Chain A
Amino acid sequence: MAGHSQPEPDSSHAAAAHAPAAHGAGHGGGHGHPPEPGFAGSPWLVLAAWILLAAGGGLLLKSFPDALPFAILLLPLLGFTVLAVFGDAIRDQGEGTGACWLACFTVLTSFALAVTAVYRVMQFPGGETGLRFTQPYLGYEWIEAGPFRVQMNLLIDNLSSVMILVVTGVGSLIHLYSVGYMSHDPERVRYFSYLNLFTFFMLLLVLGGNLPLMFVGWEGVGLCSYLLIGFWFTKKSASDAGKKAFIVNRIGDVGLILGMILAFYHFGTLDLVDLVGNATAGTEEGLWQFGPITTICLLLFVGACGKSAQIPLHVWLPDAMEGPTPVSALIHAATMVTAGVYMVARLAALYSLSPTAMTVVAVVGTATAVLGATIALVQTDIKKVLAYSTVSQLGYMFLACGVGAFGVGVFHLFTHAFFKALLFLGSGSVIHALGGEQDMRKMGGLWRRIPWTFGTFVIGTLAIAGIPPLAGFWSKDEILAGAYSAGWKSLFVMGVIVALLTAFYMTRALILTFFGSYRGDAETGSHIHESPWIMLGPLVILAIGSATVGFVKIPQFVEPALRVSEGAHAAPHGQWLPIFATAVAVTGMVLGYYLYLAFPEIPSRIYASARGVARVLENKYGFDAVYDRFASRVVVGGSEEVLWRGVDVRLIDGAVNGAASLTAAIARSVRTVQVGRVRGYALVILGGAVAVLSYLLWPR
């Protein structure tokens, strides 16, 4: 049921929620100008209906406070259902603006409710496992098969609190932004219905109280990712990218399913709280000792690799940039791709029992961070730079988890959601201004033309580069500190290198886009315009977030939910590290400034002298080529030659046709016996009689 909660005046989060909520509501009323006949006649009617609904829902929630998580969860689903069922009718009546606002309202309301829920979680006495909603709302047995019992229960604790705030908060801003970004698209009702469906599944993923329920959300976001990457499916590259994302994710999901099965086999439960409870009672497995817990963790990590774009399953994420830019911001930067990190953090107690799995997570994360950061150096498409940056930052999060600083990983997830969504939306604003141009070589000098976009993009760049006191600095510093104090000196060094590269390639993207002189064609150049307020508003809010959320003590906040003592986090490290990290970031940015603004002829010279390295990076280390060859040779070739021509045609068809032709051949040769001449038959009878008699009478 829809519900618009009254924000609690004594909660800082609730107060923060009020601003965007009011923001959306105010413009919901204002969407009458330009006047439109669409969406149930008058926009005021819509607003009135919504207020009624909100009041009714609020009253309901007041009497059934435990229904809160379900209200958070089901509101976007309600929006999706309405848009899916009435979408065509809405579109045919007007231009679908009402539908867009409806989608925004559901998520905004969900956000307001999420703030209320988080407020209640923070008030929860003890705070050990947080709120746990099971009975009586929807808390029935979902699956009941012998010992395998799965409840339809939701779990809100400190960890999922952070996640639902990100999903609904950043999600709301991106919904609002999309209203402007997609305003010219005739299919935007479909777009918003997918966006709402995605929000629902993402909330299900982070709120699900057991692995199967989480898995439903996991698959659902994968589906929505596929639908939204291929949103402009008439473009071949977009539909291909969608398929690629879907298929690569399925590979990871095999691991996830196997991990779940094994977890049930080993622990007898898939409920997250029980699972973690059992794990905390377990004993640690030795390094490189592949016991059940290590196997479970590694299999689940395969799923996380698929969803969170880690080596070797990272290849889908850069291609996913074929989707609309707000989708890249929401799904492929802020929320869905962090699902793997969320799952690993959620099962922190399990992972910390297996040094092997932790090592694998840390090493894979670091390798991915290096890979993403280096490839981002040579990308010319602004969204591709951000995509590889996302790959790299996700690697950073796994590095944090792998060295035992799970809370810090979630912290980086949190800050990254802000600044990466900001950067993506900023790039979307640039692309919007340039009428669809994404190649940074055809940009430049835009800062004067689109100052608001420029300003927010700078904040995002500084945040991701790790310049204090912006958000990225705090989380990145803590990750490096975690790696350092966990004794992973090599990973620490790699992390520092990645931090340097991050600052460098983001400065490069910033300079190529906004500084220097405009390099595109004059026709596009004459049409450059700042984006409308509905796009700039979310940018500004996210910029403020990127600047400030670093001060939120996320690691300390989520720690009770992780059920694992963060030794690495607590260990003291020298005061030099923040200064060192800042120095590294500044070095990267200054380097970027020198190479791309002060002496712009140097990069091409470096490029020419290091042709081999550049080619390796441009080929993205050959992952795509190898996979392509594997797919075309082994999979397609094997299917054609072995499975189709060999097994299917020869073996199966051969067996079926062979049985038939064998019968026919035998019949053909035997039927000559049947001549129809009576004496012939009689002769055979005689022969038979003689044979039988001689057998019977033969002296033995």
Chain B
Amino acid sequence: MSPTIVQHALLLSLALFAIGVVGVFLRRNVITVFMCVELMLNAVNLAFIALSRAWGNLDGQVLVFFVLTVAAAEAAVGLAIIISIHRHKDTLDVDAFNIMKW
């Protein structure tokens, strides 16, 4: 694998991550925010894979499995929370969820 491809992969990863960050901050729909978080996780996964190939080391690839597992668990819990909130608030706007303050 040539260094150029690694560079491209990392750039793609960066782009995906940036899109995720922007989405998290700019979108109001909590489902969208959630998807953007997933996007960021997968951007990181991509970077792991690329760098793992580049250095001929499997550690990065192993880590990806962990991230996928955690992401799955997070999705399960997160979606459950979203449904629960939606039942209470009848909206999916994140800005409506502001009772966590003193």
Please report A residues at the B interface, Cβ cutoff 8 Å: 671, 674-679, 682-683, 686
Contact = CB atoms under 8 A, between A and B. Distances in A.
A679 B98 CA distance: 10
Nearest to B37: A682
Contacts of B101: 674-676
B21 interface: yes
Pairs A-B, 4 closest by C-beta atoms = A676-B101, A676-B98, A676-B100, A677-B98
B90 interface: no
B76 to A, nearest CB: 19
A679 B102 contact: no
Contacts of A683: 25
A682 B25 contact: yes
11 contacts: A674-B101, A675-B98, A675-B101, A676-B98, A676-B99, A677-B95, A677-B97, A677-B98, A678-B94, A678-B100, A686-B25
Interface string B78-99: 0000000000000000110111
Contacts of B94: 677-679
A686 B102 contact: no
B30 to A, nearest CB: 9
Contact of B97 (A674, A678, A682): A678
Interface of B: 21, 24-25, 94-95, 97-102
Nearest to B99: A676
Contacts of A682: 24-25
Nearest to A678: B94
Contacts of B24: 679, 682
Contacts of A677: 94-95, 97-98
A682 B101 CA distance: 15
Nearest to A676: B101
Contacts of B99: 676
Contacts of A678: 94, 97-98, 100
A683 B21 CA distance: 10
Contacts of B21: 686
Contacts of B97: 677-678
A627 B81 CA distance: 82
Contacts of B98: 675-678
A683 B100 CA distance: 16
A597 B27 CA distance: 120
Nearest to B28: A679
B22 to A, nearest CB: 11
A682 B22 CA distance: 11
B97 to A, nearest CB: 6
Given A678-B94, A678-B98, A679-B95, 6 more contacts: A674-B102, A677-B94, A677-B97, A678-B97, A679-B94, A682-B24
Contacts of A675: 98, 101
A675 B99 CA distance: 9
Contacts of B25: 679, 682-683, 686
A19 B100 CA distance: 99
B85 to A, nearest CB: 11
A698 to B, nearest CB: 18
A435 B98 CA distance: 91
A671 B102 CA distance: 8
Contacts of A676: 98-101
Nearest to B97: A678
A675 B100 CA distance: 8
Nearest to A681: B100
Nearest to B21: A686
A250 B9 CA distance: 92
Contacts of A679: 24-25, 94-95
A505 B17 CA distance: 113
B47 to A, nearest CB: 14
Q: Which one of B97, B101, B102 has the highest number of Cβ atoms from chain A below 10 Å of its Cβ?
A: B101
